[in-house]
Structure 1
Amino acid sequence: MENLYAVVVTYNRADFLRNLLDSFARLNTPPTHILVVDNASTDHTAGVVADAISGQGPRIQYERLDRNAGGAGGFSRGVELALESGAEWLWLMDDDVEVLPGAVEALDKFTADYSCMIGRRYDANGKPFFWQHHFVEALGIFLPVSRDVFKHSDVFRTNVGNFEGMLVKASVVRDIGLPDPRFFITWDDLIYGWLAAQRTPVVYVNAFVIRKVRAQRQVDLGLRHLNDSSDLSRRYVMRNRGHVAHYLKAYGKYNRAGFAAGTALTFLKEMVRLMLVERTLKGTGALWQGWRESRAILADTGWKPMPPLPAHPGSGSQRV
């Protein structure tokens, strides 16, 4: 992969970020460039980045935002900067993971055929983490795939994204626009992958490339894992249903009754998460607040999707 830019968004996780930057330095083939977008952290993040810049690893660019724009806003700014700097491939990831030796080579095997892909991930305990999902447009929710997706092939086609290692070609990004900062947190990566899937195959590939470092409480339900959450995340899981609905409408794939059912299922899933993982019902108020906010977003008649971006100078009108 030429001009591979890793885009990392961080917020008050300096020690996790240090570990991630160290793991980049240990790669057999590191990215050409690492862009760290700091969501106005108040810890020692700036010092961690300064240490990494003075080291022997890949070139690092640091962008500190003047406010916390959430993961969605951070990735939106990071992707914008990467494109301005001439990135041809973008590797998007959170700060609480580490990349595994050989990750770039493992992904590169698939880049001749695919322009958007997601590698596999180990959990903090070293076990494979199941995150193979598919977005059900009629309901406006994503559901786990109930089978071994790599039993017969090292590639499984999907229509979702994940910002813990999603690799996407710059030409696809220009087609679909920047990640939508209005999501703030949650749903942003899923919808970004769905937008990419409207233009090019999006695939899971059978290559372990990332390990989650931050341990989370979780319940294994067999078909899927449920991790712990927060009131902020619960609020935005429901709030951002409004943005999801608008994107489905923009592509002529919105089903009002089905979407309402999907919203009810989303609420139910979060209630199950509260009861089984966190063993409390105190987060119910955040869910209702998010639902009310989603109604206001849905009523916004001026809402528009993120616009496509101009082609890179010299690239003509190439599309993937």
Structure 2
Amino acid sequence: MTTSAVIVTYNRLPMLKEAIAALQNSATPVEHIIVVDNHSNADTQAYLTSLGDTIDYLRLDENIGGAGGFNRGIRYFMTNTDDDFVWLMDDDTMPHADTLTNLLAFAQLAHDFGFLASDVRWTDGHRAKMNNPAPKNRMKKIPEDATQPEELMNATFVSLLMSRKIVAEIGLPISEFFIWGDDIEYTERAARVAPGYFIPAAKVTHKMASNVGSNVMTDSLDRLPRYFYSYRNKVYYGAKRHFVGHVKSNVRILLEALQVMLKPGIDHRGQRLKVLFAGVKAGWHFKPLVEHINNEQKI
């Protein structure tokens, strides 16, 4: 079983260097390290160019967001390699030496799966809150000391393994998502074909600046515009769920709006609500293209 690793990067050179080194030190080697550069500054370009043919370097002409980056990376995997699996991660994802070994061990046993997700930890060893596993049984919470694989509803692109067969069937991530939710939509799309699993033995470290989840109520004003994409994309992928799931998704958005309006201590309520409602309204009319790829096509 052969694997391509895809890293999407944008102006985080020190962490990118560490992530590439971690992949190069994997106990189970990867056949290709595909780095998708979302038009980073010259220092990142110079470093990646200096690595020569030890990596496959895709420098994009503009920053098309994480969603566009993963679209391009998976496209490259399908059209320029013959590897069996693609392993997806951000540039602040640090695989452990045995991460891929443990993912592939489960892949050998399971055969038919939509995706395999790592146990994502922050730098202090606790779960990364932005990457908490979402079990298919929504009444259940997966404990931090879990040892058994668990079926998931969805997962993030922070150490996610998918097969060539699944990608050929479901297509590519939606570039138009730009940021946020592209991984949730994509893994839910895969899970409609075959179950996805959380693999607790396959740990990675997510080197976020702080271990907090995203929250429109408390995030800083400079980050507020990106919540437009969050809510627009939530409306889109929520509508793809079965009836009960669709209703639950809409109720959660409504409750978040009510919290922004009514919860004490929220600053700049008007700006936060404006972004939220603009995203929801855009989501009603959002009809992005889902691209499928021909294995014979080369780029």
TM-score scaled by length of structure 2: 0.82
1-side partners of 2:283 and 2:172: how far apart? 20
2-side partners of 1:283 and 1:29: how far apart? 50
2-side partners of 1:134 and 1:273: how far apart? 29
| Counterpart among 292, 295, 301 of residue 281 in structure 2 | 295
2-side partners of 1:281 and 1:135: how far apart? 35
**Residue number in structure 2 paired with 1:306:** 290
1-side partners of 2:67 and 2:264: how far apart? 24
**Residue number in structure 2 paired with 1:75:** 70
1:104-153 deviation per Cα after TM superposition (whole angstroms, max 9, x unaligned): 211111112153100112212233436111479xxxxxx794343875x6
1:152-193 deviation per Cα after TM superposition (whole angstroms, max 9, x unaligned): x62100120210001000111121111111111111111111
Contact 1:49 1:62 in 2 (8 A): yes
Amino acid at match of 2:290: M
Give, in angstroms, the shift of residue 47 of structure 1.
2.2
**Residue number in structure 2 paired with 1:32:** 31
Aligned pairs for 1:183-222 within 5 A: 183-216=177-210, 218=212
What number of residue pairs does the alignment pair up? 288
CA RMSD, 1 decimal: 3.3
**Residue number in structure 1 paired with 2:17:** 18
Give, in angstroms, the shift of residue 246 of structure 1.
3.6
1-side partners of 2:150 and 2:136: how far apart? 14
Greater mean alpha carbon deviation, residues 237-246 or residues 248-257: 248-257
| Counterpart among 161, 165, 179 of residue 167 in structure 1 | 161
Gaps of 5+ in 1: 137-142, 219-224, 314-320
2-side partners of 1:236 and 1:186: how far apart? 8
What is the DSSP-based 3-state SS (H/G/I as helix, E as strand, rest coil) of the residue aligned with 2:184?
helix
**Residue number in structure 2 paired with 1:261:** 251
Aligned pairs for 1:1-320 within 5 A: 1-2=1-2, 4-53=3-52, 59-86=54-81, 87-112=83-108, 113=110, 114-115=112-113, 116-129=115-128, 131-134=132-135, 145-148=140-143, 151=146, 154-216=148-210, 218=212, 229=219, 231=221, 234-249=224-239, 253=243, 258-267=248-257, 281-282=267-268, 285-299=271-285, 303-310=287-294, 312-313=295-296
What is the DSSP-based 3-state SS (H/G/I as helix, E as strand, rest coil) of the residue aligned with 1:109?
helix
Contact 1:157 1:201 in 2 (8 A): yes
Amino acid at match of 2:24: A
Gaps of 5+ in 2: none
**Residue number in structure 2 paired with 1:139:** none
Contact 1:6 1:90 in 2 (8 A): yes
Contact 1:245 1:254 in 2 (8 A): no
The 1:149/1:261 distance shift into structure 2, 3 A limit, reads: same
Give, in angstroms, the shift of residue 48 of structure 1.
2.4
Contact 1:175 1:309 in 2 (8 A): no
What is the DSSP-based 3-state SS (H/G/I as helix, E as strand, rest coil) of the residue aligned with 2:205?
strand
